[in-house]
Structure 1
């Protein structure tokens, strides 16, 4: 059965993309200012409320996959994702591995190779989420029959328990005395167990879209309250020094992310038509996600000598604007030349809702 595009997802992806860029704009700015302790802590608290961004990206991938392909995956599924997601991932990781060595005039093949392997295979960079998404693709193929056999409530509850326990093991120090946990501390974000709840909830929501939308409508006030309540938990955890790390891999971010996803969906439903800038940023979100730190890294030194550098807010906004606009422009231009999409991913802005499922898939 053919299904139409979901306009709401463009808005949700737009918000998630800009949130990631904004987080890094704040972080880069923090590293270049000497700030009062209160301001630093305020920034950390604020960034804690934005940690839903990467998990929402991950949720979108499975939500659209489950929605688009009710029965089976098309023959071209893996080919397209290797071409437009995995190959750009490898190329951009190559650039990030080589660029600092070239700029500092200290290029070393051994250092480059170690860095490149650490990024591409071990996910030791901001693009690691691609490794999670590809695990989701495989899980969709492997677990579909199991998920369809059992009641959604059972599978959702089970995956939530697994996800929370898995993350808690790596969040709290008393678990880290266990040898295998200590070894995995730098890599625990990669196995799907740390993201399985997002996969499960997105699978059932996308597959049963009508039921999902009815639940959103029925429990909209519960969702709003849920955002406030679940968003308060990690703030209190940090304030009371129970667990202070600002990360999207916290066990107490899981339910918060779900509530944010639902709230953003509710907001998106109120928008009759997504503005052009929403569609552009959403459609180039993969490129923006991969490339924005490169632009921010190169601009930060220039901003240090600018007359407005002492203005904290302007510095953040400039990094945000450059981190968004630069990759968008590069993505647009490269997609105009042959094989450009293999470098930064495919960039195509849908002009209208179409019943063709190929226009719905994640890029």
Structure 2
């Protein structure tokens, strides 16, 4: 019987739903001219910014857990097919249906922006591919290093990287200046701590999970402290960016990831809803952007109702379209593939103690 890692189902689902909620809040505030007035909602949105980093973390964690310092034959070919083709097609779709170009030249410009300049939510796929390359070339070396100092050092490095982009004036040099633009998002430098955390937790997963409950209090307190830092920086105007590319995000995301693992050490059971959304999570991530910013307002006087309306409708449409496209042989190359993990199989694994 296959052993399932329950925390991954929870991570995918929470990250996926959080991303749609983030964009639902953004579009609601934009259409209601409400930006800057809903401080509590903006703080909630800010606290959900672990979502995209969580997705890129998962990619390296699963690779390291399954193959340690190696990759299976045909790994890159498989990823180019199932990640690379959707990356191209979704970006073409966003460039046409979302940006609505007036002519072919505009369309080509939008394709360039989305494909090569981080102009769409698909940029996380580029980061994942960088992680795969890093793993292929360097895993056999970094496995020899001590995990804790490396992870702590990488968190410091990524913190400084995002702080540099945020607080240092942009360079006028045509190449160096790109670090301050969206191109800076697409480089692995700002995400390297999630790569290393994913690598070490994957390689040493069994040892990690055997000992994690010893640090329950540390993880909970660390999460609360990182949340407090994030909120204070926002409220007091130190950093008002509501995005995952903030200087205080790496520490916060690290603690959230540890909190997920701590939770899974106590709770192995995976509910049907969590598994269902997990199976559709990649599709939802890719498809939702076509709709989340184009839905109208449910009520002109209630931001909360509009956010809920936008969120529910976007999730529903994305799932329905993903299901329809995946009825066809090549649908998974257009909107991403649906996971085929069945609840009955996962539950049987849970009952027999085969759930990680």
Q: Structures share a fold, TM > 0.5?
A: yes
Q: Write the deviation string for residues 303-335 of structure 1: whole angstroms up to 9, x where unpaired.
A: 3xx5x4433222111111122121111112211
Q: Quote the Cα distance in structure 2 between the aligned partners of 1:175 and 1:36.
A: 25
Question: TM-score by structure 1 length?
Answer: 0.88
| Alpha-carbon distance change, 3 to 143 in structure 1, aligned in 2, over 3 angstroms | farther
Q: What is the aligned partner in structure 1 of residue 170 from structure 2?
A: 176
| Counterpart for residue 60 of structure 1 | 58
**Counterpart check, 1:144 vs 2:139:** yes
Contact 2:99 2:110 in 1 (8 A): no
Matches within 5 A, 1:150-165: 150-165=145-160
Cα gap change, 1:268 to 1:80, in 2 (>3 Å): same
Distance 1:325 1:36, change over 3 A: closer
Q: Distance in 1 between matches of 2:116 and 2:83?
A: 15
Contact 2:325–2:331, Cα closer than 8 Å, also in 1:
yes
Moved more, 89-98 or 40-49: 40-49
Question: Does the 8 Å CA contact 1:170/1:181 hold for their aligned counterparts?
Answer: no
Q: CA deviation at 1:149?
A: 2.2
CA shift at 1:215, angstroms? 3.6
Alignment partner, residue 293 of structure 1 = 289
1:194 maps to 190
Q: Which runs of 5+ in 1 are unaligned?
A: 356-363
Q: Conserved in 1, the CA contact under 8 Å of 2:7 and 2:264?
A: yes
- Measure, in 2, the Cα distance between the counterparts of 1:158 and 1:36: 36
Unaligned runs of 5+ in 2: 350-356
* Contact 1:233/1:252 (<8 A) preserved: yes
* 1:270-349 aligned within 5 A: 270-300=266-296, 303=297, 306=298, 308-349=299-340
SS in 1 for 2:49: coil
Pair 1:4 & 2:3 matched: yes
1:224–1:99 Cα change, 3 Å: same
Distance in 1 separating the partners of 2:252 and 2:27: 25
Structure 1 residues 189, 100: closer, same or farther in 2, change over 3 A? closer
SS of match in other structure, 1:247? coil
How many angstroms apart in 2 are the aligned matches of 1:217 and 1:57?
24
Q: Distance in 1 between matches of 2:230 and 2:268?
A: 34
Pair 1:73–1:35, CA change in 2 (3 A)? closer
Match of 2:114 among 119, 122, 134: 119
| TM-score under structure 2 length normalisation | 0.90
Q: Check 1:35–1:115 CA distance in 2 against 1; reply closer, same or farther (3 A cut).
A: closer
Contact (CA 8 Å) 2:230, 2:249: kept in 1 or not? yes
Q: Matched residue of 2:31: which SS?
A: coil
The 10-residue stretch of structure 1 (181-190 or 335-344) with the greater mean CA deviation from structure 2? 181-190
* Partner of residue 75 from structure 2, selected from 52, 77, 85: 77
